[in-house]
Chains A and B, each alone.
Chain A
Amino acid sequence: MGSHGRATTVTGLAYISGVATIELDRSKCNSCRVCLQVCPHAVFGASNGVIEIIDQDRCMECGACVLNCAEGALIVHPGTGCALAILKGWITRSEASCC
């Protein structure tokens, strides 16, 4: 168990808590489970066939689930995860990319 009482993260590392923008609209979800397949960090889980976000803090906002959700049930604010790109984005008021 992690220090904050949740299951240990896949990487063994936890990042800033409570900021990831991932949202699941359960009224649109048809439980196709594609999000479970494409998510690299086990953000989603299924109990009794119902998909839910089991750990929002593990989400790195890569957007794989959003792109592959045919029902449009997932929303995330996409962006780049490196400081220099964000700084450049602030200065030029644009979306910059990392690698």
Chain B
Amino acid sequence: MDGPAIPSVSTQLGLGDRLGRWRVRWTVGRMRYRVHPGLYRMGNPDPASPVLVTANYKLTFDVLRAELHGINAWLLVLDTRGINVWCAAGKGTFGTAELVRQVQATHLGDVISHRRLIVPQLGATGVSAAEVRRLSGFRVVWGPVRARDLGAFLDNGMRATEEMRRVTFTLSERLELVGAELAFILKWLAVLFLVVLVWNGWTSTMEGFGRVARAGAPVIAGVLAGTVLVPIFLPWIPARAFSLKGAMVGTMVVGAAVALGHDAYGLIDGIQLFLIGTAAASFLGMQFTGSTTFTSPSGVEWEMRRALPFQVGACALAVGLSVARWVTG
């Protein structure tokens, strides 16, 4: 074949790939973790070998190639700006237009002898199989949700079992998300902590540190309840609305934190901290809907209309108590 050589990639992940995976799980440099879009060889493919379509988020690319050990295939990487397949499909960057564009740009029709593209099922939010066929002549075969099922899918004559078609939300999947949520929250907590510290006087740093830590503990407990405990214990917390799950866990955890630190502040302070901490737990629990694999936008909107007044109300009450105390002197 003429034209530029098609790069080969290994199915073995190196140390750099493993470190990179660990790093982006904690959101460090996640938006810049990309591979070059285009066509790649995996193993030793011939013109009859299958074509697997994927995103150019390097984590996605690495998971895919690690699962393809021993399989000869072509990889067609779409430019999703470093976003995974499902999210990119929702935005449309993993979509019909980009797929057709890559098929043409890589001259895929000259490289292979068949006209089939295996597209991950979760790409269906952005890819219209009928449109791809009309625009490129290629037929889309919907692959399994998870890369680890690809071997069995190919062995089975490109047929997915019922289980391969279903999205899950297991404890280990949720734990991977907690890292990202936590990293995001910790950055903001660090900023907030510094602001309060400066507010309290830069000179009395250690004393200020202790005071802020004791007063802030119930609020931090609420933040962790919403971002860590709700995701982990999700199926076991009774209630369907995530805001309610957050409020339930928040009530317990923030209540315990307030009770433990009761000698550091008065009754009114305790009530204020309880209100703000629980509201934070409820809001952040609700925010976790954005990371799940099963919540409908209509459902999120439904619970937001009901929960936001309570969350805002709790914070308003806490502020109101301060105002009342200031007015009454």
Residue from A34, A40, A65 whose CB has the most chain B CB atoms within 10 Å: A40
A40 → chain B closest CB, angstroms: 4
B8 → chain A closest CB, angstroms: 31
Contacts A62-B90, A67-B126 given; does A41 touch B294 at CB 8 Å: yes
A13 contacts the other chain (CB 8 A): yes
Report the count of interface residues on B (CB-CB < 8 A).
46
Provide the bound-state CA to CA distance between A28 and B132, in Å: 22
A61 near B294 with CB under 8 A, answer no
Main secondary structure of the interface of B (DSSP, over half): helix
A7 contacts the other chain (CB 8 A): no
B328 contacts the other chain (CB 8 A): no
Main secondary structure of the interface of A (DSSP, over half): loop
B111 contacts the other chain (CB 8 A): no
What chain A residues lie within 8 Å of B166 (beta carbons)?
A: 10, 40-42
Q: Which stretch of B188-196, B256-264, B298-306 is in the interface?
A: B298-306
B104 → chain A closest CB, angstroms: 21
A30 contacts the other chain (CB 8 A): no
A70 near B296 with CB under 8 A, answer no
Provide the bound-state CA to CA distance between A70 and B160, in Å: 21
The contact of A97 among B91, B122, B162, by CB within 8 Å, is B91
What chain A residues lie within 8 Å of B72 (beta carbons)?
A: none
B290 contacts the other chain (CB 8 A): yes
B286's nearest neighbour on chain A, judged by CB, is A83
B300 near A11 with CB under 8 A, answer no
From 1 to 31 in chain A, residues with beta carbon under 8 angstroms from any chain B beta carbon are 9-17, 19-21
